[in-house]
Amino acid sequence: MASFVDRLVGAARLDAKTYEEIEADPTAMGQAMTVVGAAALASGVGSFDSGGTTAVAAVIGGFVGWLAWALITWLIGTKLLPEPATSADLGQLLRTIGFSAAPGLLNVLGIIPVVGLVVTFVAAVWQLAAMVVAVRQALDYRSTGRAVVVCVIGWVFYLAVSIGLAVMMGIGSVMMGG
């Protein structure tokens, strides 16, 4: 079994074997949570100077987003668009998707003027690519294209829910005099 650092590096390198190992190891959930929390904290710190969210809000949002994204992806990937070999439980997706956040550790560099914007963009694209590999491996897909479709559908749904919640919270804040 690879060490946590080996898994972190393998996930960032988009190594399919690393994601297979993470998928198969139920004890990797704590490691996946660590990656999600650290990447969310890096985003919070990286956006601090630009008026971004607080580190605490970023970490809470990171965990909620991770759970929601994994659930949505699991439903789409196993119920709506499975391949014949698809067999995955929610834990497998939580672990692999958690490690796909590894490139997000670079977001701490977002605090650097100008360079931070480029790094944040590169990290976001890199995380998306890692997510596709994570989904492909966790759902036992032969097709990377199907994994891309599942990720895009999940992202659209996740975005719609996030916007809906933000609007509801904004309306609630206005109604409460906030």
pTM for the predicted model, two decimal places: 0.87
Using the predicted structure, report yes or no on whether residue 53 has a pLDDT greater than 70.
no
Report the alpha-carbon distance of residue 157 to residue 147 in Å, rounded: 15
Report the alpha-carbon angle 134-35-116, nearest 5: 95
**What tokens does 129 get?**
């690519």
Instruction: List the single range of 54-58, 116-120, 124-128, 138-142 with lowest mean pLDDT.
Output: 54-58
Query: What's the mean pLDDT in 37-44?
Result: 91
Residue type, 47: S
Which is more confident, 49 or 43? 43
Backbone φ and ψ for 61, nearest 5 degrees, come out as: -60, -40
**What tokens does 38 get?**
């650290």
**What tokens does 78 get?**
């196993």
Banded pLDDT at 155 (limits 50, 70, 90): confident
Domain assignments of the chain as residue spans, ordered by start: 4-175
CA 37 to chain centre: 11
**pLDDT single digits (tens) 158-170:** 777 767 766 776 6
Q: Are 47 and 55 in contact (CB under 8 A)?
A: no
- Distance (Å) of CA 163 to CA 43, 71, 171: 19, 18, 12
Using the predicted structure, report yes or no on whether residue 12 has a pLDDT greater than 80.
yes
Report the alpha-carbon distance of residue 177 to residue 140 in Å, rounded: 50
Instruction: List the single range of 19-23, 33-37, 113-117 with lowest mean pLDDT.
Output: 113-117
